[in-house]
């Protein structure tokens, strides 16, 4: 496979001018019309389009089908630590929220039963929620909880409420420990539709299990976060 052609001085200058323009604009602000911008920058529309494509690929700009090209929203930084979504967003100065997409009880299959450490066939509450930050979609979450741990809990209860807070306030269970994994992913068509991004967009996938006092597993959660709004940070300590 041949290497991609090296960037020319003209392309670098055009990219730098575009980055300078974007730096003066607010997140979510639309880029000027392609024809007007190409005329202002003194380049062909095809040349401009390639430069814009590069900034879209870098996450500086985002395209919305049928609407245009916009400055990408600022990313929310997340340190590698297990924490509730609500606490995470509040710590970053954002207002957390959630909308229940669907919920229901179903018997645990072999894999889910192993994750929750319950017998196969145990009733499990599954709640699928859209998690919001300042009313904008941030993540889609699938929460699985042993039903006998939270009798009477419904998806409606979790509208704009933290599961951890409900667990403590209503059921007297405090989260004591947890394990979380994170990996890069691409959004499925179903997840993309509720997150407001194109299918196949970059994302972060988190999977978490947490235990309450006494050691019982209180949840298995799988969350898909928008890659254009979320950033992971890790502290480094010299050895």
Region 61-79 average pLDDT: 72
Return the pLDDT at 126: 96
Tens-place pLDDT, residues 92-128: 677 878 899 999 999 999 889 999 999 999 999 999 9
Return the pLDDT at 79: 46
Tens-place pLDDT, residues 11-63: 888 888 888 788 777 777 888 888 888 888 888 889 888 888 888 877 778 88
In this predicted model, which residue has the larger pLDDT, 135 or 90?
A: 135
Return the pLDDT at 1: 41
In this predicted model, which residue has the larger pLDDT, 133 or 124?
A: 124
Return the pLDDT at 6: 54
Helix or strand (DSSP H, E) at 56: helix 45-57
Tens-place pLDDT, residues 190-229: 999 999 989 999 898 988 899 998 889 999 999 999 888 7
Region 55-74 average pLDDT: 79
Position 140 pLDDT exceeds 70: yes
d(CA 72, CA 19): 12
d(CA 1, CA 32): 36
Candidate from 1-5, 71-75, 134-138, 176-180 with smallest mean pLDDT: 1-5
Position 146 pLDDT exceeds 60: yes
Return the pLDDT at 188: 92
d(CA 133, CA 229): 10
CA dihedral 98, 104, 105, 107 (to 10 degrees): -100
Neighbouring residues of 68: CB distance < 8 A, sequence distance ≥ 6:
30, 31
Helix or strand (DSSP H, E) at 164: helix 163-171
């Amino acid at each position: 496979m041949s290497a991609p052609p090296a960037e020319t001085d003209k392309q670098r200058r055009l990219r730098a001018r575009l980055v300078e323009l974007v730096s003066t604009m607010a997140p979510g602000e639309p880029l000027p019309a392609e024809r007007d911008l190409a005329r202002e920058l003194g380049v062909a529309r095809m040349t401009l389009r390639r430069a814009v494509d590069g900034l879209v690929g870098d996450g500086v700009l985002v395209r919305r089908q049928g609407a245009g090209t916009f400055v990408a929203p600022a990313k929310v930084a997340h340190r590698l630590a297990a924490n509730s979504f609500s606490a995470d967003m509040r710590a970053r100065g954002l207002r957390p929220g959630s909308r229940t997409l669907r919920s229901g009880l179903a018997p645990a299959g072999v894999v889910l039963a192993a994750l929750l450490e319950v017998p196969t066939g145990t009733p499990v509450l599954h709640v699928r929620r859209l998690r919001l930050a300042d009313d904008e979609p941030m993540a889609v979450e699938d929460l699985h909880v042993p039903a006998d741990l939270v009798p009477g809990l419904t998806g409606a209860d979790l509208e704009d409420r933290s599961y951890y807070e409900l667990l403590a306030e209503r059921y007297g269970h405090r989260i004591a420990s947890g394990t979380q994994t994170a990996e890069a992913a691409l959004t499925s068509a179903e997840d993309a539709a509720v997150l407001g991004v194109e299918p196949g967009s970059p994302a972060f996938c988190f999977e978490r299990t947490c235990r309450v006092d006494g050691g019982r597993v209180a949840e298995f959660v799988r969350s898909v976060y928008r890659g254009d709004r979320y950033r992971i940070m890790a502290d480094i300590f010299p050895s």
